[in-house]
Each structure stands twice: as structure tokens, then as C-alpha cells.
Chains A and B, each alone.
Chain A
Amino acid sequence: MMHIPARVVRAERENERVVSLTFDVKLNGAPGQFIMVWLPGFDEKPYSLAGASPLKITVGARGSFSTKLCSLKKGERAWVRGPYGRGFELLGKKILLVGGGYGFAPLRFLAAEAKKRGIHAVAICGARTKSLLLKPAACKTIFSTDDGSFGIKGSAIVAMEELFKKERFDVVYACGPEKMMEAVARLAKKHRAGCQLLLERYIKCAIGVCGHCACGDKLVCFDGPRFGYEMLANPEFGKIWRDKAGRKVQL
């Protein structure tokens, strides 16, 4: 699968670090799947679908590549290939979406799909502080900030615990920092809900050949990026990341 050129039709600032880009291409993709975005001559990185038709991604300025991508203006191009990987599976009648930072972006795509199918969704959007929150999803969205500057004071987990005191959910979907997702999985398990997590690793080939994106014996690009409770038994989940060289980095 070669890249296709994609022109930005809308660049929307979400907060001081995050921009959502909508492109003039349509992909047959599901929430939770990802694409590789190439800036020719520079680098190529994975992004979760924030929308597929039209293609939309949400980019947090983190390193030189994402900063450059964030600066794309309407009419400018990036090259994309994909979508890749196994996306979320919409199950149950009532679901909870828990996002940390810009990990909330693919969950907003999921919320839109849930709405189309008549599945009742509630979302938690957590961030360190108010200026890092994303915009709400197409469902009831509860905000939480670590410093209490907006919404519930505390992590998304605190908000999730509050919610489970009052309500039941069939499935919990999470995307965000891995330690947060680990906590989400444990809490969902305690409340006997299903659980789907979206993992991130340094991705090179994106098609399951090179092995660089391994989390234990799982390949994030090929076996995932959506995983479930089995990750709680994975020796590297929530603990170890591998850098560009493949060196272990403690999370």
C-alpha cells in the first residue's frame, strides 16, 4: 500500500498543544485503527483515526515531527497510508469512554459511531490542566483535571470511580497514558465490565513485519492497537516502552 497525498481542508486548534486536522481523503476505517502520516523528507509517524470519512487526526505537539504536523495550514499536504491494525469493537448497550490527554481523540470518533448505532455512551476526558483538555465528544462528556482547574479534580480514574458508584457500563474503552489504562482495566474488571484499550508504541513498519512495536510478545501495529484484559498479564504493559533503537525504557 503506497501513501496517498492528503490535503488539509480544516486545521482546528483544540488547545495550546493540540490541533485537529481534517483532510480531503476518505478512508474505510474504524475508531481505534491508525494511519501512518508521512512528511516527505522528514519522517513518518502513527496517528489514531479521529475520523475516517473524511480523514481526521488529532495531533499533540510533542517532538519535531508532531510540531511540524501541527503547523500544517489549510491547503497544505501530508502523505498517509493505512488504516492499519484492529480497531475498537462496539459492544453492549451502555459504554464508558475514558481518555487521557489527546488519547481522547480516537474515543470521540468512537462516540460518534456509538451514537449512529444507538449505543448510549458517556465519556471522561482527563488532562493535567484545563488548557490541555480536548473538546467534548458527541455524548455526555465529564471533564477531569489533575490540578482541579476544570471539572472534577483528579485523574480520569477518579472520575471513573465516581461514575461507577452510580452507574453500570457494559464496556469501558480507554486511550491515554499506559499507567492510566492499566488502572482503567483494573477498575473495569472490578466492576465486571468489558474492556478495550488502545496502545501506543514506537511504530516503524506498521504492518507486523519488523517487530519494533512489541509489548511483550504482542505487536501493537498488528495484534492491536486495541487490546483487552489480556494486557494485565503482559509483562511489559504499563511498565516498559522501547525507544527508536529498541532499548527498554521504564514507563
Chain B
Amino acid sequence: MVSLEVSLCGLKLRNPTVLASGIRGNNAYLLIRAAKEGAGAVTSKSCSLLPREGHNNPTMMGCQPFMLNAIGLSNPGVDEEVEEIRIAVKRAGVPVIASIFAHSVEDFAKLASRISEAKPHMIEMNISCPNVHREGKMFSASPSDAASAVAAAREATSAPISAKLSPDVPNIGEIAAACVGAGANCITAVNTMGGMLIDAYARRPVLFNEYGGVSGPALKPIALKAVYSIRKAIGPDVPIIGTGGGASGLDAVEMIMAGATAVGVGSAVVLRRNAFREICNEMKAFMKENGYSKISQLKLES
């Protein structure tokens, strides 16, 4: 008998797939839908204290081996979001992770406190969005900035906190360790990787924001290396949601072998209409075929 169950900060997930933030998580209905489609946990779209319109279009380009986006963190603001999360927590039937985004440690604290009213099972701090640089440096660019944001939120909530990190740094392990030191219970790795596309005919960057974040299959090797480095840096106990390019059961197994506890699913939801179930079925098939009965046995040879 193969079990896909995993434990994440004391939360029981029926399988390791987690709807990644920014992917069809804009309202409670969509979060409930992802749960119905088989996700082990779901993450909402990042919300900020005040509503944000985000960037003008084009905000997304889908190419075969990757996607590039600069949505610009559009969201209705925490007042509306609290209600969406509250409904999702009641009805999704799986753990709900609420993602928050702010420009200052003070606002991270306020947000962590406000969103906790909805009793999310976990709070994910988006300290690594690659397409809002003009509004200030991302917190996850340095261990001390990342730690200060996490510490502020830690003071403001009793919910487990995951810090979502950028792969666009040379020292992601060190940054993850700093977050854990500041009170993060989990690490989500990775956010998208900075990138851009140019339209030669228009002689312009394609995205209105000029550059954005690369996701999809092209992000997979980058995410694997990040998760591997973080696991080495933070030791065996702190869970990692390994996110980046995973679209198959084998991708998920590899992410877990790199050190992830659960596996974020993002762009894959459009590559496969039934991504969560198919990923889980493929994981089960792999495990059965290779003599594994539980997820914790999926480890690299030491």
C-alpha cells in the first residue's frame, strides 16, 4: 500500500501537492476548486494591506518550456481577502495557506495579524516577488532583510509561517537559515526567476513591466538546486515546500529527493488539465514500481 500523506508544520496533507501562490488562488471558490481537483493544500494569491491593480498587460507570456509573468501582485486588499480565506478554510477540506505581501516589516506584521483573523492553516510570506523591484528591494535578497520581515510577522501571529524565497541569489541556504532563525516554521522555494522577453518586431520588452518572473519547466533545475541547498543549510526538521516547474509525478519525486517536504504546483495546472490527480497517480505508480510505501522514503542515496 502506497501512501502519499505528508506532514507539514503539524498539518496532515493527503498528498504532497500544494497549489502555489499566484496560480488560480484569487478567491475562495478557486481555492476550493483546487482542493476538489486533488491538491493536498492550497495557497492563495498574495494579498497586501491595500488593493493593488498590478501592472498593465501584457502581464504573462506562455511559451513551451517556460512562462514569464509580471502581474504586479494585483489583489483586492486584505479586507476582502480575509473573507475569502475564511470561506476557503471552512470549505476547502484541505489546509489553506494565506500568502501575504508587503513593502515594510511593519506592514508585514499588520498583514500577518489581519489575515490571522481568517484562521489560515499557515501564512506564506511573499518576500521574493521579482517584478515589483521599482517599489523597493525584495526582502529575500539578503539574510538580514529576510529575517527582519519574518521576525515582525512572527510577533504578530501564532499561525505557522513559511517564507517564500527567490532563486535569484547566490546564498539561498543562508537566507533560508536566517528566516528559520527569525521564527519561520517552513520555507517555500522558489518564487519565479527574474527574466524578460523582447518582441523584435515591436522593438520592445513584451511585458508591460519590461521584466518579470520565469516559471514552468525551465525553472525546475533552478528550484531543485535551491531546495537542495536549503535542506543542507537548515537541517532535516524544518519543512520545505519545493516549488518550480514540477508538472509530473517524477518531477515531484525528484523535488522531494532534493529535500522538499511538499511540492508546489504552479504553471502545471495549464500544461495538464488534471494536474494534481495526474501528478499524484504518477507518484504512486513510481513508488509502487520502486518499492516505496511512504513519501519519507524518497531520499537521495547518501
| Chain A contact residues, CB within 8 Å of chain B | 1-3, 5, 36, 38, 40-45, 79, 204-212, 214, 216-217, 219, 222, 235-236, 242-248
Contacts and interface: CB of A to CB of B under 8 A. Distances in A.
Interface of B: 22-27, 29-30, 32-33, 45, 51-54, 56-63, 67, 69, 71, 74-77, 80, 197, 199, 201-202, 204, 206, 208, 266-267, 269-270
Given A5-B201, A244-B54, A245-B74, A214 B60 contact: no
Contacts of B56: 42-44
A211 B26 contact: yes
Given A2-B206, A36-B58, 18 more contacts: A1-B62, A38-B202, A44-B57, A204-B54, A204-B57, A205-B69, A208-B269, A209-B23, A209-B60, A209-B69, A210-B26, A210-B59, A214-B30, A216-B29, A217-B29, A244-B54, A246-B51, A246-B76
A246 B201 contact: no
Question: SS class of chain B's interface: helix, strand, loop or mixed?
Answer: loop
A112 B23 CA distance: 37
A3 B60 contact: no
A235 B23 CA distance: 21
A248 B33 contact: no
B74 A204 contact: yes
A79 B270 contact: no
Nearest to B79: A247
Contact of B76 (A1, A2, A44, A248): A248
A206 B60 contact: yes
A211 B24 contact: yes
Q: Which of B22, B33, B67, B75 neighbours the largest number of chain A CB atoms within 10 Å of its CB?
A: B33
Interface centre among B30, B77, B267 (most CB of A within 10 A): B30
23 contacts: A5-B201, A40-B199, A43-B208, A44-B57, A44-B58, A45-B57, A79-B201, A79-B202, A204-B59, A209-B24, A209-B60, A209-B62, A209-B266, A210-B23, A210-B71, A211-B25, A211-B45, A214-B30, A242-B76, A244-B74, A245-B53, A246-B74, A247-B77
